[in-house]
């Protein structure tokens, strides 16, 4: 993994939670030799408690530090300028981004509330301008994917946050987002049904890009690759490279997110370990292809998260404070107060806004919040 910086390499050195039989550490590579996993976890918990006690509210206010948000080295900044120039020349829309991903992007009320509810910004009021910017561009609502999405009419108007993306599907694997729709086996998997308005000879990703012409494309996928027996290592690098290339060739700017942890329901650790390896591939692709990277893994394993930000039933999907299926889940998903940021959807929604702010700043966009706001639910 010679292309990975030390900062990103160390990101994946985190403990794996297991059953009552104990907890073991997942070695991130040669040189990791924990003597007693339980002692290591206990010491880590003690240190985190001491840090949290000393730091107070500032800890939650810094959930999107430089190690999580895109950091623009000289090579990445140069590539970003090249991509931005081409995006502008091709007429990509600067107030629009596309969503590309699996159930954690398509369902569980992910991102939607940012575009149709009033966020509780708490100490992040400066992000109001970001919401204003990306809700100003009205988009078609899209074709609703089944399962776990806001009901039609409950999250309007259509914008980058609220749109039912043609390139997000529950249960989808990475390569299916980049290959023609005709190559995807959707038999018995209604949740994979493509948008009827898409050309079946094109990919779901290309369909969405053509419909929106977005400046940015936020990519968060890979958790389901294990269920399809997809290999890690170079094979995973190739899958993500194909997706990044398709976005960049179209003219939009790809933005990669690492995956959140996946908590196994037994003492086995293969789900957790698989995500570690997929994140290595994502990070390598971000480095070699010079793509902005949002390190969701680092944000969710940094401590003080409830069940690593995941819902407790399956340990795979992001949860919302009060439960993602409970009443007013959309409202609660955009709560950025300290306790709410211990839940996956809340924290990732915050990170998305902060990422957009970083990207726009790099693009030379100065955002200022409008004094008057449209009334939201």
- In the block, tokens 């994140």 appear at 279
Q: Is the pLDDT of residue 32 over 80?
A: no
Position 312 confidence tier, pLDDT thresholds 50, 70, 90: confident
Separation CA 205–CA 1 (nearest Å): 28
Count of Cβ atoms closer than 10 Å to residue 54 Cβ: 9
C-alpha–C-alpha distance, residues 164 and 195, integer Å? 10
To 5 degrees, how large is the angle CA 41–CA 44–CA 46? Answer: 110
Euclidean distance between CA atoms 89 and 364, whole angstroms: 16
Contact 230, 163 (CB under 8 A): no
Tokens of 322: 């009060």
User: Over 70: is that where the pLDDT of 64 sits?
Assistant: no
Q: Give the percent of the chain with pLDDT over 70.
A: 77
Q: How many Å apart are CA 286 and CA 38, to the nearest integer?
A: 34
Instruction: Please determine, for residue 49, whether its predicted confidence score (pLDDT) is greater than 80.
Output: no
Lowest mean pLDDT across 113-127, 269-283, 360-374: 360-374
Q: Tell me how far apart the alpha carbons of residues 253 and 291 are, in angstroms, rounded to a whole number.
A: 8
In percent, the amount of the chain with pLDDT more than 90 equals 67
Rounded-to-integer distance, Cα 171 and Cα 228, Å: 10
CA distance 288 to 234: 13
pLDDT at position 1 is 37
Q: Please give the residue that has the higher pLDDT: either 251 or 11.
A: 251
- Report domain 65-362's class: alpha beta
Using the 8-state DSSP alphabet, how is residue 335 labeled? B
Sign of CA dihedral 144, 150, 156, 158: negative
Mean pLDDT lowest among 3-17, 32-46, 218-232: 32-46
Pairing of strands 214-220, 253-257: parallel
The pLDDT score that the predictor gives to residue 314 is 81
Residue 43 reports pLDDT greater than 50: no
What pLDDT sits at residue 152? 79
Q: Which residue has the tokens 């939607």?
A: 112
Closest CA to 116 of 130, 96, 103, 131: 131
- Pairing, β 15-16 against β 24-25: antiparallel
In terms of pTM, does the model score above 0.95?
no
Name the token pair of 138. Answer: 């009205």
What does the pLDDT look like over 157-179, one tens digit per residue?
999 999 999 999 999 999 999 99
Domain segments of the chain as ranges? 35-63, 65-362
């Amino acid at each position: 993994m010679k292309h990975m910086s030390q900062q990103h390499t160390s990101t994946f050195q985190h403990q794996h939670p297991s059953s009552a039989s104990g907890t073991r550490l997942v070695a991130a590579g040669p040189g990791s030799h924990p003597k007693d996993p339980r002692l290591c976890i206990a010491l880590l918990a003690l240190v985190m408690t001491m840090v949290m006690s000393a730091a107070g509210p500032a800890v939650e206010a810094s959930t999107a530090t430089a190690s999580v948000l895109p950091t623009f080295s000289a090579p990445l900044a140069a590539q970003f300028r090249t991509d931005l120039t081409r995006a502008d020349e091709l007429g990509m829309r600067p107030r629009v981004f596309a969503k590309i991903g699996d159930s954690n992007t398509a369902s569980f009320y992910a991102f939607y509330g940012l575009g149709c509810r009033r966020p509780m910004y708490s100490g992040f009021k400066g992000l109001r301008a970001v919401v204003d910017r990306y809700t100003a561009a009205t988009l078609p609502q899209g074709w609703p994917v089944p399962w776990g999405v806001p009901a039609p009419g409950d999250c309007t108007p259509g914008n980058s946050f609220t749109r039912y993306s043609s390139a997000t599907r529950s249960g989808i694997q990475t390569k299916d987002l980049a290959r023609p729709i005709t190559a995807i086996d959707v038999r018995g998997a209604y949740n994979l049904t493509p948008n009827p308005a898409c050309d079946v000879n094109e990919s779901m990703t290309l369909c969405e890009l053509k419909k929106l012409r977005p400046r940015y494309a936020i990519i968060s996928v890979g958790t389901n690759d294990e269920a399809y027996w997809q290999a890690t290592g170079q094979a995973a690098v190739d899958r993500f490279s194909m997706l990044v290339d398709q976005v960049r060739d179209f003219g939009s700017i790809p933005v990669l997110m690492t995956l959140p942890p996946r908590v196994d329901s037994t003492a086995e650790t293969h789900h957790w370990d698989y995500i570690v390896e997929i994140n290595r591939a994502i990070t390598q692709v971000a480095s070699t292809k010079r793509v902005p990277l949002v390190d969701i893994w680092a944000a969710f394993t940094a401590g003080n998260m409830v069940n690593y930000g995941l819902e407790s039933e399956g340990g795979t999907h992001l949860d919302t404070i009060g439960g993602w299926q409970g009443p007013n889940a959309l409202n609660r998903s955009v709560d950025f107060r300290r306790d709410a940021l211990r839940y996956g959807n809340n924290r990732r929604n915050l990170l998305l806004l902060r990422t957009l702010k970083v990207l726009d700043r790099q693009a030379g966009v100065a955002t200022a919040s409008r004094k008057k706001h449209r009334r939201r639910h």
